[in-house]
């Protein structure tokens, strides 16, 4: 099937928009034995061949315009599907003669049961060749065979990919990049192109999804990549195997972890990325947070982005164990930060804002382990009631942003240490200004070379990605 694809690839490159060329295609199709239509429709049986005789191949009929093949969405196909169910399903008792007719040919029943699925459109049997040279194209879900003039040529797609990459580096517009890449992938699927270029496209999309934290898209791309690597191979197979293992840790999918481990060879285990993933997995399965976060700091290539997705979950668990293990007593925040790889102030604040910790002192350098960890926004005490004395640290509540502003600013300026600030309070311009100093540097071209990320991760945008997907 794939060899056929490549052969067609050569023919495809010589295609143009002219009708004559398309007629040329029709001529080819009329050669019985070699027509892709016929060979592709092996399973479909006699009916399709019959149709061929009458109106030539459906897809290139009518001056190269592809009219929607009636067989695809309507009666005949439905009938065929129905016939399959009759042959394969539990029908009621049928009258004698009809049974005899079915009985007559078990071979036929078998071939009916094993026809190509009615639901999946078998793109490889259609051999659509694109003709469009548009650089940009929005993504639209297809339910039927498309018009070749809307499908782009492989050359165009290559140029389009470079264009998308440039745009990405410049704007960081995930929505745009994702949309363009999806339509790029679709054009490749329609034309049955599965080669090194396809691998490149999927790798690019995976990397972008990795960076932005789009779990679902990443999973889609990497499962396609898994198949492509088996068929076509690629330079980055080991890297992506490592990402796959990390993804399984993220989804806690022990079954797939076992099968992945089963499939690894000794040489593969020596690879930098895979070795890292294996060590991380071992640390994770034993709850060894010390080793886990130590490895996390030195994650190779883009593995760090993936571990970001579940780093907080592991941190919370680790912190729980720590609070129990050192109870009663207290723990230096600096120690916790070094154990949990929360190096920067911003990271610590972000982590801390999701849980409520109890400090031993006002300067918040030590955490009181007697009290466990609570998730969430804490109690409803407003920010006005900040107990400066006493053993309890500050808990957030919704409070009144405006009235908190002065107070917070005052406190913040006075004490530049750890502080959980309610996200709402960032509305305050002065507080926001303070935050600006923690802004990350712009992302460079380096993102397309596997490298350690420079930014602070943001994994909280799943809902946004979901809505993007449901709209397309």
Partner 1 sequence: MTTNNTGQQVESLREPGGGGDLTVKLTRVVDLSLVTMAGMTLNDYLQRVQGCFYHQNGDGLADLISFRDPHVMSSRLMLEKPERDVERCVDPSLAEFIAGHLRAVWAAGSGDCVEAWKTQMVIVQAVARFMQELKEERWMLPIMYTACLDLRLFALAADYELTRSGTSKAGETLEKSAEALMSCFRVCAADTRTGEDCTKRWGLLYLVNQFFKIYFKINKLNLCKPMIRAIEALSFKDRFSLSQLITYKYYTGRKDMFDSDFKSADSTLSFAFQRCHIGSRKNKRRILIYLIPVKMLRGYLPKQSVLERYNLSEFHDVVASVRQGNVRLLSETLAKHESFFIGAGIYLILEKLKILAFRNLFKKVYHISGTHQIEVAMFLQSLKWMCVEDVDLDETECILANMINDGRMKGYISHAHRKVVVSKKDAFPPLTAC
Give the integer Cα–Cα distance in Å for 309 and 287. 17
Give the integer Cα–Cα distance in Å for 216 and 208. 12
Give the integer Cα–Cα distance in Å for 208 and 168. 9
Torsion sign (Cα): 361, 363, 364, 365:
negative
Member of 339, 347, 352, 368 binding partner 1 (CB under 8 A): 339
Q: Which C-beta is closer to partner 1: that of 113 or that of 344?
A: 113
Q: Which C-beta is closer to partner 1: that of 39 or that of 133?
A: 39
Q: How many residues bind partner 1 (CB under 8 A)?
A: 50
Nearest to 340 by CA among 351, 356, 355, 327: 351
CB of 97 to partner 1, least distance (A): 11
Q: Which C-beta is closer to partner 1: that of 88 or that of 138?
A: 88
Within a 10 A sphere around the Cβ of 148, how many other Cβ atoms?
Answer: 24
Please name every residue paired with 366 in a beta bridge, in sequence order, or none if there are none.
332
Only one of the segments 177-185, 187-195, 327-335, 387-395 lies at the binding site for partner 1 (rule: CB under 8 A); that segment is: 327-335
Give the integer Cα–Cα distance in Å for 453 and 444. 10
Residue appearing with tokens 């889609």: 220
Nearest to 189 by CA among 5, 12, 59, 61: 5
> Cα-flanking dihedrals φ and ψ of residue 368, to 5°?
-85, 115
Q: Which C-beta is closer to partner 1: that of 102 or that of 469?
A: 102
Check binding of 291 to partner 1 (CB under 8 A).
yes
CB of 176 to partner 1, least distance (A): 34
Check binding of 6 to partner 1 (CB under 8 A).
no
What is the DSSP-derived secondary structure letter of residue 115?
S
Residues 301-320 that bind partner 1 (CB under 8 A): 318, 320
The b-or-e profile of 242-252 (16+ CB within 10 A means b, else e) is: bbbbbbbbbee
Q: Which C-beta is closer to partner 1: that of 310 or that of 448?
A: 310
What would the two tokens of residue 365 be?
Answer: 């350098």
Residues 106-125 that bind partner 1 (CB under 8 A): 106-107, 109-110, 113-114
Check binding of 462 to partner 1 (CB under 8 A).
no
In the stretch 76-105, what mask flags binding to partner 1 with x, by CB under 8 A?
-----------xxxxxxx--x--xx-xxxx
Give the integer Cα–Cα distance in Å for 157 and 135. 7
Only one of the segments 21-29, 38-46, 64-72, 282-290 lies at the binding site for partner 1 (rule: CB under 8 A); that segment is: 282-290
Only one of the segments 199-207, 249-257, 400-408, 430-438 lies at the binding site for partner 1 (rule: CB under 8 A); that segment is: 249-257
CB of 83 closer than 8 Å to CB of 70: no
Residues 256-275 that bind partner 1 (CB under 8 A): 256-259, 261-262
- Sort 353 into a burial class: Cβ within 10 Å, 0-12 / 13-18 / 19+: middle
Only one of the segments 24-32, 35-43, 197-205, 252-260 lies at the binding site for partner 1 (rule: CB under 8 A); that segment is: 252-260
Where on the chain is the footprint of partner 1 (CB under 8 A)? 87-93, 96, 99-100, 102-107, 109-110, 113-114, 254-259, 261-262, 282, 285-291, 318, 320-322, 324-329, 331-332, 335, 339
């Amino acid at each position: 099937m794939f060899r056929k694809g490549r052969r067609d690839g050569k023919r495809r490159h010589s295609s143009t928009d002219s009708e004559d060329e398309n007629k040329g295609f029709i001529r080819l199709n009329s050669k019985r034995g070699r027509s892709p239509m016929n060979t592709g429709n092996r399973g479909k049986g006699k009916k399709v061949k019959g149709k061929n005789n009458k109106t030539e191949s459906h897809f290139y009929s009518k001056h190269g315009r592809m009219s929607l093949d009636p067989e695809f969405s309507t009666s005949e196909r439905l009938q065929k599907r129905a016939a399959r169910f009759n042959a394969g399903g539990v029908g009621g008792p049928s009258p004698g003669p009809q049974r005899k007719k079915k009985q007559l040919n078990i071979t036929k029943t078998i071939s009916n049961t094993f026809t190509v699925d009615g639901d999946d459109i078998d793109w490889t049997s259609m051999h659509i060749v694109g003709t469009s040279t548009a650089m940009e194209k929005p993504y639209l879900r297809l339910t039927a065979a498309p018009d070749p003039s809307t499908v782009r040529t492989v050359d165009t797609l290559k140029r389009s990919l470079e264009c998308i990459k440039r745009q990405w580096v410049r704007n960081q517009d995930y929505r745009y990049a994702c949309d363009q890449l999806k339509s790029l992938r679709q054009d490749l699927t329609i034309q049955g192109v599965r080669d090194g270029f396809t691998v490149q496209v999927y790798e690019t999309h995976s990397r972008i999804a990795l960076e932005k934290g789009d779990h679902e898209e990443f999973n889609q791309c990497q499962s396609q990549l898994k198949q492509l690597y088996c068929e076509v191979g690629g330079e980055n197979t080991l890297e992506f195997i490592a990402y796959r293992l990390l993804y399984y840790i993220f989804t806690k999918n022990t079954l797939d972890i076992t099968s992945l481990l089963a499939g690894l060879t000794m040489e593969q285990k020596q690879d930098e990325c895979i070795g890292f993933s294996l060590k991380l997995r071992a640390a994770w399965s034993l709850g060894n947070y010390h080793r886990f976060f130590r490895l996390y700091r030195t994650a190779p290539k883009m593995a760090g982005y993936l571990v970001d997705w579940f780093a907080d979950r592991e941190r919370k668990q680790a912190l729980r164990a720590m609070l129990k293990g050192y109870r009663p007593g207290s723990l230096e925040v600096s120690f916790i930060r070094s154990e949990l790889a929360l190096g920067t102030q911003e990271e610590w604040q972000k982590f801390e804002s999701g849980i409520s910790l109890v400090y031993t002192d006002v300067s918040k350098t030590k955490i009181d382990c007697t009290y466990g960890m609570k998730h969430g926004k804490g109690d409803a005490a407003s920010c006005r009631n900040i107990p400066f004395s006493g053993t309890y640290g500050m808990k957030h509540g919704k409070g009144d942003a405006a009235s908190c502003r002065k107070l917070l600013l005052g406190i913040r300026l006075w004490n530049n240490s750890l502080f959980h600030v309610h996200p709402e309070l960032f509305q305050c311009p002065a507080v926001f200004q303070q935050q600006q100093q923690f802004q990350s540097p712009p992302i460079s071209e380096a993102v397309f070379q596997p490298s350690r990320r420079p930014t602070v991760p943001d994994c909280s945008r799943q809902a946004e990605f979901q809505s993007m997907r449901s709209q397309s």
